[in-house]
């Protein structure tokens, strides 16, 4: 579905049609993307802080639900699965970096309305895939808990975390983390390039996901390192009451756009 040589066709919305040629991802690409992401955050802090606030509130909302329902063990799975929803918060940051790269001053209406503006295009379909994967992870997490700790009737898991340090508890955490990592890797491969691609070009979401998967596969080592860096930084950012997200999320969001922009030829 690559565009033909010459002047690319343009959609009614003014976006180029088709998938552009994407070059190789080097470790220098990641370094440059981080530097550009930090520059975007410094130049446009209001957008980064605003989208981080949404993520911050969402994190505390999930935490509140798990404690209020007395199902505190869900907090472990929510903490592992919550970063899967990161692309939602990052979408506006991608657009902010895109507009700044074009030499335009991003307007709040443009940035905060980018998801609504995409409602007539392919992004909602991709977001639906993300939600389905997230919900399926919660279902599978419940099954993993039942498999390893379903018979732990002598411990009140709603008020004590001691059960997690038993043999079965440690096995559950290890197995659940491995399964969660597999889900995160698959979703990462499908969306890391596809979301900025959908914002930049007129292309269907299936083609965008395939392009993203192929790009990560062709540059597996640097892209996996980038994915691990995202996962580690987001995890550390969530530890101090989700406060670290106000710095980590904006920088990573802007930088993720620049990875796509840097390899687009």
Residue 8 is assigned to a structural domain of this protein: no
pLDDT tens-digit map of 164-185 = 777 887 888 888 888 888 888 8
Q: pTM for the full model?
A: 0.79
By CB atoms closer than 10 A (0-12, 13-18, 19+), residue 162 is exposed
Alpha carbon distance 206, 217 (integer Å):
16
What's the pLDDT at 110?
Answer: 78
Torsion angle of the four alpha carbons 187, 92, 233, 86, in this order, in degrees rounded to the nearest 10: -30
Domain that holds residue 117: 27-79+86-263
What's the pLDDT at 223?
Answer: 96
Residue 20 is assigned to a structural domain of this protein: no
Alpha carbon distance 39, 96 (integer Å):
12
Integer CA distances (angstroms), 253 to 52, 54, 91, 218, in order: 10, 14, 8, 22
Residue 238 has pLDDT above 90, yes or no: no
Residue 152 is assigned to a structural domain of this protein: yes
Structure tokens at 80: 């592992």
What confidence tier does 141 reach under pLDDT thresholds 50, 70, 90?
confident
What three-state secondary structure class fits 54? Answer: helix
Least confident of 26-30, 87-91, 109-113: 87-91
Q: Are the beta carbons of 134 and 81 closer than 8 angstroms?
A: yes
Residue 135 is assigned to a structural domain of this protein: yes
Residue 163 is assigned to a structural domain of this protein: yes
pLDDT tens-digit map of 47-81 = 999 888 887 887 787 777 767 766 655 555 555 55
Residue 188 is assigned to a structural domain of this protein: yes
Residues making up the chain, counted from first to last: 265
What three-state secondary structure class fits 202? Answer: strand
What confidence tier does 2 reach under pLDDT thresholds 50, 70, 90?
very low
What's the pLDDT at 177?
Answer: 84
With a pLDDT cut of 70, the percent of the chain lying above it is 79
Q: Are the beta carbons of 120 and 15 closer than 8 angstroms?
A: no
Q: Are the beta carbons of 260 and 191 closer than 8 angstroms?
A: no
Alpha carbon distance 214, 220 (integer Å):
9
Residue 153 has pLDDT above 70, yes or no: no
By CB atoms closer than 10 A (0-12, 13-18, 19+), residue 163 is middle
Q: At CA 148, angle to CA 143 and CA 150, rounded to 5?
A: 75
**Number of domains the chain contains:** 1
Residue 198 has pLDDT above 70, yes or no: yes
Structure tokens at 30: 């990641």
What confidence tier does 6 reach under pLDDT thresholds 50, 70, 90?
very low
Residue 15 is assigned to a structural domain of this protein: no
Residue 22 is assigned to a structural domain of this protein: no
Torsion angle of the four alpha carbons 144, 149, 150, 155, in this order, in degrees rounded to the nearest 10: -150
């Amino acid at each position: 579905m690559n565009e033909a040589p010459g002047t690319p066709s343009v959609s009614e919305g003014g976006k180029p049609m088709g998938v552009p040629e994407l070059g190789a991802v080097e470790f220098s690409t990641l370094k440059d993307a981080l530097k550009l992401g930090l520059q975007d955050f410094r130049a446009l802090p209001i957008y980064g802080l605003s989208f981080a606030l949404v993520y911050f509130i969402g994190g505390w909302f999930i935490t509140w639900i798990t404690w209020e329902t007395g199902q505190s063990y869900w907090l472990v799975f929510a903490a592992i699965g919550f970063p899967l929803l990161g692309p939602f918060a990052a979408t506006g940051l991608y657009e902010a970096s895109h507009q700044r790269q074009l030499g335009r001053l991003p307007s709040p209406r443009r940035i905060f309305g980018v998801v609504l503006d995409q409602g007539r295009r392919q992004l909602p379909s991709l977001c639906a895939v993300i939600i389905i994967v997230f919900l399926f992870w919660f279902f599978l997490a419940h099954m993993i808990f039942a498999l390893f700790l379903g018979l732990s009737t002598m411990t009140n898991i709603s008020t004590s975390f001691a059960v997690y340090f038993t043999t079965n508890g440690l096995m559950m955490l290890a197995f659940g983390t491995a399964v969660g990592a597999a889900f995160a890797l698959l979703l990462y491969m499908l969306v890391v390039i596809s979301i900025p691609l959908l914002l930049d070009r007129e292309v269907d979401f299936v083609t965008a996901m395939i392009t993203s998967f192929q790009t990560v596969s062709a540059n597996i080592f640097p892209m996996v390192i980038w994915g691990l860096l995202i996962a580690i930084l987001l995890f550390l950012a969530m530890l101090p009451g989700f406060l670290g997200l106000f710095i980590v999320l904006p920088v990573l969001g802007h930088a993720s756009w620049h990875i796509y922009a840097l390899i687009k030829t």
